[in-house]
Structure formats: C-alpha cells, structure tokens
Amino acid sequence: MSNAEARMNQAFKEILAGGLTRTVLSVILGFLVGAMFMIGSNKEFLEGLGYFFSRPQDSLGAAWTVVSDGYGALFRGSIYNAGAEDIVQAFRPLTETLRLGAPLIAAGLGIGLAFRVGLFNIGGTGQLIFGMIFATWVATRVELPIVLHTAVALIAGILGAMLLGALVGFLKARTGAHEVILTIMLNYIALYFFTFLMRDPMLLQEERATGNPKADPAAVTAQFPKLFGDEYSLHWGLVIALAAVIVYWWLMERSTIGYRLRMVGFNPDAAKTAGINVNRTYILAMALSAAFVGVAASNQALGTAIGVTPSSHANIGFDAITVALLGGSSAPGILLAGLLFGAFKAGAPAMQVIGVSPEVLGIVQGAIVLFIAAPPLIRAIFGLPKPQTTNALGAFRDRLFGKGGAK
C-alpha cells in the first residue's frame, strides 16, 4: 500500500469514527448554516440592513422571525402539529417522518457496511433500482396468498439488489477495478434498464399506461400492511427497517463474518496475512451491503398502492451515503440519522408553505456532511483536542491486545 493510499485510508477511518460529540456539533453547525441562508434571503432583513445602525432591532427581529418560523414549520411538518384539528392530524407528521425515514435507515445500513470494510459503495441508487425491479415483478406478475406474497416480494427485492452488489465486488476482486467507478456506471445502467422495462407492456409497463414509463401497482396481497389503519400512511416497512438495524448490529458486532469484514476494513494487508481471503471478503461485503439497500427497494415497491416509476428511487441511494456518514456506520447512529433525514423530507413541504425554500434543508444536509467529513475543521472551530487514535483503530487495538478482545 502506497503512502498516499495509507493517508487516504487513515483519513477515511477518522471520518467514520467521528464520535458523538463531533456528530452533534456537525448537526448544530449545519442548522446554523441553514439559518444563515434563510436570513440572507429574507427581504425584511435585507431592507433593515440599510438603516441597521439607527434601528438594528428591525434586522435582528426579521432574522429571528424567519429562522424561528422556518424551523418551527419544520417541527410542525415532521414531529407534531399543535394547530391540527384533531389528534390524528396532530401526529400525522411524526408518522410521515417514520415512513420516509425507514428506507433511508435500511439503505444507510448498506452503505455503512461497505464503509466499514473500506469500500465506497456509491451504487445505492442502482442497487435499489434492481431491487425494485425484482420486487415489482413478483408483486405484479406472481399470484400468491397474502403474507406469503409480501414475504416473497421482499426477498426478491433483496436478492435483486444483492445481484448487482455482488457483481461490483466480483469485478473489483477479479479485475482490480475501483468500486466507485463501477457503482456510478451501474447506476446509469440500472436506471435506463428500469425505464426500458416499464416502457414494454410485456415486461413491467402498467396495462393502462399511455407510453409513460410506469409499472402496475403491487397487488394488494403483496403490499406492506398499514401499521395504524388507513388514517396514516405508515406501514410495516418501518418494522422491517428496525429489524434490519438489529441484524446489522449483530452481523457487524457479534458475528464471525462481521469480525472478518471489520478486519479487512482496518487493514487489508494484515487481514490477508492472518489468513483472510480479502477478495472473497470484498465480494461478500458488497453483496451484504446491497442486501440492506434491497430492503429499502422493497419498501419503495411494496409500500405504496401506486406503481413505481423511474423516479421512485427518490435519491435514497445517495441520501444513504449522508446517513451512513452522519451515523458513523454504527447501527444506532444510522437509525438516528435516518430519522433525522426522514424528518427533513417530511417537513420540507411545511417550510415551503410559509415561504421558506425547501432547498434550505438540502443546504443543511450538505453542511452536516461537510463538517462530518472535515474533522480538523470541527476541532478548529470548537477547540477540540486532536485524538490520539480513532475509535475504529482503538477498537481494533483493544480486540488484539485486551479489553475483551479475541483470544
């Protein structure tokens, strides 16, 4: 391994081992950056700057109003709407946050798993699309009893995503091609292949479609049941995502396979010396990474009563990268990060209603990732001490030399 690669790997490990303090500070700074953009685009604030020194309260009041109204709308649209007519409407924003956060959690787990093996899985979108292809085909072209139909369609979505993920791992292991290039190109192939399938009535196109690329809705027997009745859109996709969190935690923290995956992520050369087949581990890691993305794919295909379209991936594959980074690739962290970004998606329309551009939340997300990916910047702003070792390297050291490590 060259010095440049070693430095890059060390920086990458430091990003993933951020710790709670740096994560919380990054989120706070992200919201502050969003507030600055809201203030800077507010007409009353800009007008008040013209006579700021004579009446500073005008500009400061306008700044406070636009920020409090904007983030207040975000809270009402994603957590609880105190002004709703009834209790059902009051808690609807929370259920929407949970519904929109579920696929982000599942996909974030997949991206996080790849990160912990030292792989950059940028192909979440393509893997999600392949999962939707398989899940949609089973949900619309196969007749099975209720429950069994849902289970088979869910497994099909996972297998479809795994197929594309395993292909990336195989090409990397056998040819040495970089997974970033492979996954980015496969994203385009998957998207256009999906569109092609939905333009042919013999394949996935909706029977009543008029040339538009759209699939039939999933059969009622294959759809995820609603958790709280027809009053809410929240369905069993959330339960499956939470189950995926538990599986991910056990896999990465308690299983032999997870130990091998983490060993390769810490140091591939040392893992190879210890007798681990690194190339085979890369294939397995990409397949498992895509399997979690496949859970998100099934969520998109089976969690709605309308047919999927080429845009049904909803950028979940790319948002999952942010979720995994913010969550530090840990199961609890990804769970919380997925819910946070689900709240952003749920609350954006409420912000738009009061005149705040929903793109502000995109700026907040981007700022959070920027601060997460720049540990020296956070340390410089808040005067934090430089860590002697990253959490990931410290865990590896403890496992090798004590503190409950492997004997």
Its pTM stands at 0.86
Q: What is the pLDDT of residue 13?
A: 53
Q: Which two tokens stand for residue 161?
A: 């995503």
Residue 1 C-alpha from the chain's centroid: 30
Residue 116's pLDDT is: 92
Grouped pLDDT means (10 residues each) for the chain, 407 residues: 60 55 86 93 89 89 93 93 88 94 96 93 93 92 92 96 95 91 93 87 70 82 90 92 97 93 90 91 95 95 83 88 90 94 93 86 88 81 67 45 43
Q: Phi/psi of residue 328, each to 5°?
A: 65, 20
Tokens of 173: 């292991």
Long-range interactions of 81-90: CB distance < 8 A, separation 24+: 88/231, 88/232
Q: What are phi and psi of 226, to 5 degrees?
A: -70, 145
* Residue 8 vs residues 3, 4, 13, 268: alpha-carbon distances, Å: 9, 6, 9, 14
Please answer whether residues 191 and 126 qualify as being in contact, where contact means their C-beta atoms are separated by less than 8 angstroms.
yes
Distance in Å from the first CA to the final CA of the chain: 28
Instruction: Count Cβ atoms within 10 A of the Cβ of residue 357 and give its class: 0-12 exposed, 13-18 middle, 19 or more buried.
Output: middle
Question: How many residues in total does the chain contain?
Answer: 407
| Residue 145 pLDDT | 93
Residue at 81: amino acid letter: N
